[in-house]
Structure formats: structure tokens, C-alpha cells
Structure 1
């Protein structure tokens, strides 16, 4: 699985009254989960939303981005106390918290749930028939990295497959959807395969071509309605015939 680059920020704001000026400081830590000891720490000063001076742990000093920032950086670089404090923040704030983040959050994993269903395909095959579309939807997994593939009779399918990117749900979980367009063949076995860090082995979900329970219920309800309609129609016809037999015809002059 590929590594991830994450960042955490600590923001201090100083807001002045209307028509005043805005000044704030930003602590930022960027790290790769494979090696938090290489985390990059930056400490920046902003004035009117423009960064004018920054400490960078990779450079080990302050750098300025405006005329005032250049003078400020030069002064702080000559101040051993200020420089030592920011270097200490690299370990105390950035790498320490990156380690806690990795241990407490990034090392955790949540197993995905899989829903495999049939959808309608708008394209037409060379034989003139509309091929079928199978959708493998994978929900509520963490971390983000995941692999979804398809098997036909145990062999990996490499064509007619489209997949979305991993989509964030906004609650630390992700979802992804993979579609397979194919022409059904009698006796074949189609499977969706999910590989994820939370799983000891690939999660294989086989496609069951039988009608889903929801569809069976719809058919059952429709059939029941049809039978009931026929019974009511027959009862009405019998009632009408009986009434017709008991009716007395009066000749007209």
C-alpha cells in the first residue's frame, strides 16, 4: 500500500476591530506515515493574509518573503534562543505529535462492507444484445488505500472495468465503486474481490444471478393483486348473471 503525506496545523489568530489589521502565526507539520522522524516543521508569521517570515526545519533557519520579513529572519537567525526554540518545536511539537497520530489513528483500520448488484448498461454488444452491468460498491473502510478487482471463473478480468477514486464520506470512512460490463454466459461465476489493510485475506463476493428478495417481493405483490382482481371480476360477473335470471320482462304495448 502506498504511504500518505499528512499534515497537522496549529493556528494562532489576532483579530483587530473593523478596518484594522490581521496578524496570525501558523504552526505546520507535514510527515510521511512510513517515517515520522523525517517530519517537516514550519512556523510562519502572516500579516494581512500574506506570509512574510517562516522557520523551516529542513533549512534549520528563518527565511523572509518581504523586505520586512528578510530583516526579521536575519534578526531571529542571529538570536540563538529564538532559533533553538523553533528547532526544539520540530521534535516536541511536530515529530512527537506525528508519532502519536500514527499510533493512535493511522495504525487503525476498519473492514469494508461490500454490496454487489446489477445495473442497466446503455451500450450494445457486437451481437446486438445489451450487455449486463455489475456494480461492486465498497463502503465504510479505513484507511483510504484499497484495491477492487473482478474474477470470472477464477480468472482476473482486465477489460470492461471502470472504477471511481476512493471517495471520502467526511467521517474518516471512504467508499469506492467498480463497474463491470459483460455479456452473461450460462454457468459462469463472476466475483468482486476487495483487498484492504483491515483484511487478513481478500474479501470475495460472488454474484448471485437469482432475483433479489426485493424484486421477488414486487413480483409476489403484483401477482397477488392480479389474482385478487380476477376473483373480484368473476364474483361481479356471477352476481350480474343471477340478477339477470330473476328479472321479469314486461311486454310493451
Structure 2
């Protein structure tokens, strides 16, 4: 890791901190955590290095830099690597924004949440045929716990017997998740639970 003129290196899973002091592109003093004292790189700087080594409090602070700088960065790097490997399966709900009657314009909402990473593909199907018109995709939103959520809505006029399917593909899934909705099914409970989301979806269209 690098911090100003300090460079920390890792060898065989052990941390080594090397702090280099440079003036006019020439290194004149360095502190190697394996040595524990300042070392002059030129004869002219021997006195400066000696004076710095006499200041025990300052020297001890610099010795601790391997813990403060390198180990902290190492933990961050490990956390980033672990996070990059984590995949969280999405939760999918489908519901109409309004509980209207047949042959009335409506908005069907596919609400996908709690997934990671953020890359996701969501498609709509009607009776097995993909719908490409009348689709509105809201912005990807962070949940606050590094997972994401998104709304993908389909403008439609439901007909008796129509079956709509939200098709979700995500890196965490071995195969796509599909959730169906048809006019005949009872979605009243789910619609009530997600009234706020449905109202937001309508606001995007009308």
C-alpha cells in the first residue's frame, strides 16, 4: 500500500512497512519496519537520521505504521475481495398498481429486491411471448445494506385468460426466476401490502 512517501509491502503473509523520505527526487532517509530505526541513505543525512532515532516517541509512532496503514488496508482489500464473490438471490413480486377490472388500462409491476451484485436482467412475457413495448424501468436503488432493488413495469390492458410473467436473470441464479400473474388470481393482499410502491410506479407513468 502507499501513503504519501510511505510504501508498505507484504511478503509471505507478513506485513512490511517501508517509509521513504524523498527530496528533489532523491531518497535521503527511510524507515523499514523490519529494521525499526531510521536509516540515512547518504552520508550527509546521517545526523538527521540519528536525531530522529533519538526521538523515541516519534520513532515508536512510525513503527506502529505497519499496523495503522498496511493491516487496515489489507483488511479492506480482503473485504472487497470477499464482497466481490458474494452473490445474493433476488426476491421477486408481481402485482398490479390498481385492482381494476378487465379491459381497463393498468400497470403491472415486477418488484425485485435484496439482490447483489447490481447487474440484473428483467423481462416481461404475455402468454409466453416477450413484451417489448410499454415497459418502464425505474432506477436501480441501493437498499442500504449493499443489496439492490428495482421496479420494472409493464403497461397493459388485461384480458380474460391472459398470463403475464416477470422473467428475472441474475448472476446468483442457476436458472431464471419467473413469477406469473393473471387477472383471475387474487392479489388483493399483495396489492395492499405494496400500495406505496404501486403509487410510486403510477407516478412515473401518469
TM-score band (shorter)? 0.5 to 0.7
Give per-residue Cα distances to partners, 1:100-154, cap 9 Å, x unaligned. Answer: 2344222111111111100149xxxxxxx74221000011112222121111222
User: What pairs up with 1:54-73 in 2 under 5 angstroms?
Assistant: none
Give the 5 Å matches for 1:96-135: 96-97=74-75, 100-120=78-98, 130-135=104-109
Distance 1:151 1:56 in 2: 57
Aligned to 1:182: 156
1:204 and 2:178 equivalent? yes
Counterpart position of 1:172: 146
In structure 2, how many angstroms separate the alpha carbons of the residues matched to 1:157 and 1:146? 18
Determine the structure 1 residue equivalent to 2:27.
Answer: 78
Deviations 1:153-209 (A, max 9, x none): 222221111111221111122111111001223333210011111110110001132
Q: State how far apart, in whole Å, the 2-side matches of 1:187 and 1:55 are.
A: 71
The answer for unaligned runs of 5 or more in structure 2 is 8-20, 32-65, 193-206
1:138–1:198 Cα change, 3 Å = same
Aligned counterpart, 1:31: none
Aligned CA distance change for structure 1 residues 95 and 157 (closer, same or farther; 3 Å): farther
The two structures have a TM-score, normalised by structure 2, of 0.54
Q: Structure 1 56/178 Cα, relative in aligned 2: closer, same or farther at 3 Å?
A: farther
* Partner residue, 1:10: none
Q: Take 2:142 and 2:170, find their aligned partners in 1: how far apart are those partners?
A: 16
> Could you say if the C-alpha distance between residues 213 and 119 of structure 1 is closer, same or farther in structure 2, counting changes exceeding 3 Å?
closer
Alignment partner, residue 123 of structure 2: 149
Q: In structure 1, which of residues 118, 136, 139 is the aligned counterpart of residue 113 of structure 2?
A: 139
1:205-235 deviations in Å (ceiling 9; x for gaps): 01132352646xx9xxxxxxxxxxxxxxxxx
State how far apart, in whole Å, the 1-side matches of 2:76 and 2:93 are.
35
Deviation at 1:94, TM superposition (A): 9.1
Q: Matched residues in 2 for 1:170 and 1:119: separation?
A: 25
The number of residues matched between the two structures is 142
Q: Is the 8 A contact 2:136 2:152 kept in 1?
A: yes
Gaps of 5+ in 1: 1-40, 44-53, 58-71, 83-87, 122-128, 219-253
Paired with 2:165 and 2:134, the residues of 1 have a C-alpha distance of 14
1:93 is displaced (CA, Å) by 6.2
Higher RCO (Cα < 8 Å, 6 or more apart):
2
User: What's the TM-score, normalizing by structure 1?
Assistant: 0.45
Match of 1:106, SS? Answer: helix
